[in-house]
């Protein structure tokens, strides 16, 4: 698995070398070997983490939270950064209930509501709010510690249901994501945590391509073939996703912590219909049956009180290649987002009111 991860990373090596130079590459590789945090975007929902520097609660509802996020595309700050200025600013509300059965077994759910404030390129109605996919997670945290090295092993299973419009358009039935996580903690300042995460995610779809609500070809109902062939967009769905990454978080003070993460994802697509007249044309080069992505996040977290946290950070989730087949800078590019999180901890809120 680690070999596959470095194989995928090596695909970006020429671009990384040009961007950072030899010293920068050595620093980046060293940082990755030590570990970098995880959790950018919703790519790795379900992973059980504890913020460095914070005491671990034993309440059964620990980890439950409501998160209000403001997101701004970094390129929006510079109108001349691209040929056409298309700023993006959105607010999201994330509901994350959690319940623990003892010290290891837990269940969790996750649902986001997103509202873009700028003019949206995706929604059909002005001011329309989008609902994310509803995810259910069952996990078993730190069920085994590897002797001598002191590495904790955790495992979980994510079930994703198609409650979002994009998932419905992709005809998603269900996403299933078993995964595991390795963590190593160190007694440094208020706590240093290093982790590696791996997840395999098969997806079940009704169709191999995304679909539209109505056919764009008029009069197809009266034709012998009907309209079915005109309901798809030609964009192939991903039948399987493999994702893995490294993370590191450090508690500096009781109220201050920092984290970093970097990971890669591969999507395997449904096969092209070999009966299609365009099949031979599409096979001019090697089959384009995979999509590659990278995800990076850096965050500084402030905890003024047990029930409330504020996070300021940068997240980047992007395809590996630009339209001209050059490589994106994996840390900062046109997909990079600046975000501010305000997190209300249910556990901390109850503790404040009960003086527990």
Number of domains composing the chain = 1
Q: Quick check: 344 pLDDT over 80?
A: yes
For 177-186, what is the mean pLDDT? 97
Q: Quick check: 1 pLDDT over 70?
A: no
| Rounded-to-integer distance, Cα 245 and Cα 197, Å | 5
Adjacent-strand bridge partners of 175: 160, 203
Instruction: Please give the pLDDT value at position 123.
Output: 82
Instruction: Please give the pLDDT value at position 117.
Output: 93
Average pLDDT value for the chain: 82
Closest by CA position to 141, among listed 103, 110, 98: 103
Instruction: Please give the pLDDT value at position 308.
Output: 95
- Rounded to 5°, the CA angle 148-150-153 comes to 125
Q: Which residue has the tokens 């946290």?
A: 309
- DSSP summary character for residue 266: E
Higher pLDDT, 355 or 23: 355
Q: What is the CATH number of the domain that holds 165?
A: 2.40.160.40
Instruction: Please give the pLDDT value at position 142.
Output: 94
Higher pLDDT, 31 or 10: 10
Virtual CA dihedral for 5, 292, 261, 24, nearest 10 degrees? 80
Q: Quick check: 330 pLDDT over 90?
A: yes
Q: Quick check: 29 pLDDT over 90?
A: no
Phi-psi region of 314 (alpha: psi -120 to 50; beta: other; left: phi over 0): beta
6-15, 191-200, 255-264: lowest mean pLDDT where? 6-15
Higher pLDDT, 187 or 24: 187
For 61-88, what is the mean pLDDT? 93
Instruction: Please give the pLDDT value at position 24.
Output: 40
Q: Which residue has the tokens 């701004």?
A: 72
- DSSP summary character for residue 321: B
| Rounded-to-integer distance, Cα 152 and Cα 47, Å | 14
For 45-74, what is the mean pLDDT? 77
Q: Quick check: 33 pLDDT over 50?
A: no
Q: Mind listing the pLDDT tens digit for each residue in 287-321?
A: 678 999 999 999 999 999 989 999 999 999 999 99
Adjacent-strand bridge partners of 313: 299, 339
Instruction: Please give the pLDDT value at position 49.
Output: 54
Q: Who's near 80: CB < 8 A, 6+ residues apart?
A: none
Is residue 352 very low, low, confident or very high in pLDDT (cuts 50, 70, 90)?
confident
Q: What percent of the chain has pLDDT over 90?
A: 60
For 78-103, what is the mean pLDDT? 93
Higher pLDDT, 216 or 190: 190
Q: List b or e across 170-202, with b for residues whose CB sees 16 or more CB atoms inside 10 angstroms.
A: bbbeebebebbbbbbbeeeebbbbbbbbbbebe
Is residue 275 very low, low, confident or very high in pLDDT (cuts 50, 70, 90)?
low
Q: Quick check: 281 pLDDT over 50?
A: yes
For 4-30, what is the mean pLDDT? 39
Instruction: Please give the pLDDT value at position 3.
Output: 44
| Rounded-to-integer distance, Cα 245 and Cα 259, Å | 14
121-125, 137-141, 175-179, 231-235: lowest mean pLDDT where? 231-235
Instruction: Please give the pLDDT value at position 16.
Output: 37
For 68-91, what is the mean pLDDT? 92
Adjacent-strand bridge partners of 194: 184, 248
Higher pLDDT, 275 or 351: 351
- Could you tell me the residue range of the domain that residue 83 belongs to? 2-354
């Amino acid at each position: 698995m680690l070999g596959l991860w470095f194989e995928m990373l090596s695909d970006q090596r020429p671009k990384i070398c040009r961007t950072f130079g030899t010293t920068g590459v050595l620093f980046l590789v060293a940082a990755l070997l030590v570990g970098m945090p995880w959790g950018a975007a919703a790519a790795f929902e379900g992973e059980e983490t504890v913020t460095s520097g914070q005491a671990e609660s034993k309440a059964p509802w620990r980890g439950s939270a409501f998160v209000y996020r403001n997101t701004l595309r970094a390129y929006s700050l510079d109108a001349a950064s691209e040929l056409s200025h298309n700023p993006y600013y959105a607010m999201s509300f994330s509901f994350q209930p959690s319940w623990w059965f003892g010290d290891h077994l837990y269940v969790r759910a996750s649902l986001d509501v997103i509202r873009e404030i700028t003019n949206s390129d995706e929604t059909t109605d002005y001011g329309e709010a989008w609902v994310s996919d509803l995810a259910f997670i069952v996990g078993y945290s730190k069920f085994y510690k590897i002797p001598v090295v002191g590495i904790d092993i955790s495992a979980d299973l994510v079930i994703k249901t198609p409650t979002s419009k994009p998932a419905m358009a992709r005809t998603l039935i269900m996403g299933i994501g078993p995964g595991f996580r390795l963590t190593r903690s160190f007694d440094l300042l208020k706590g240093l945590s290093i982790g590696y995460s791996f997840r395999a995610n098969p997806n079940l779809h009704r169709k191999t391509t995304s679909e539209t609500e109505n056919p764009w070809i008029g009069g197809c109902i009266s034709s012998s073939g009907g309209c079915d062939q005109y309901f798809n967009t030609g964009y192939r769905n991903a039948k399987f996703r493999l994702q893995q990454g490294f993370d590191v978080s450090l508690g500096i003070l009781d109220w201050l912590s920092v984290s970093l993460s970097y990971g890669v994802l591969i999507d395997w697509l449904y096969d092209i219909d070999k009966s299609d007249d365009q099949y031979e044309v599409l096979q001019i080069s090697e089959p384009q049956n995979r999509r590659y992505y990278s995800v990076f996040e850096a965050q500084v977290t402030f905890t003024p009180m047990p029930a409330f946290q504020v996070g300021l950070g940068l997240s980047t989730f992007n395809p590996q290649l630009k339209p001209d087949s050059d490589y994106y800078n994996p840390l900062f590019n046109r997909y990079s987002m600046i975000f501010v999180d305000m997190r209300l901890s249910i556990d901390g809120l109850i503790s404040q009111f009960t003086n527990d």
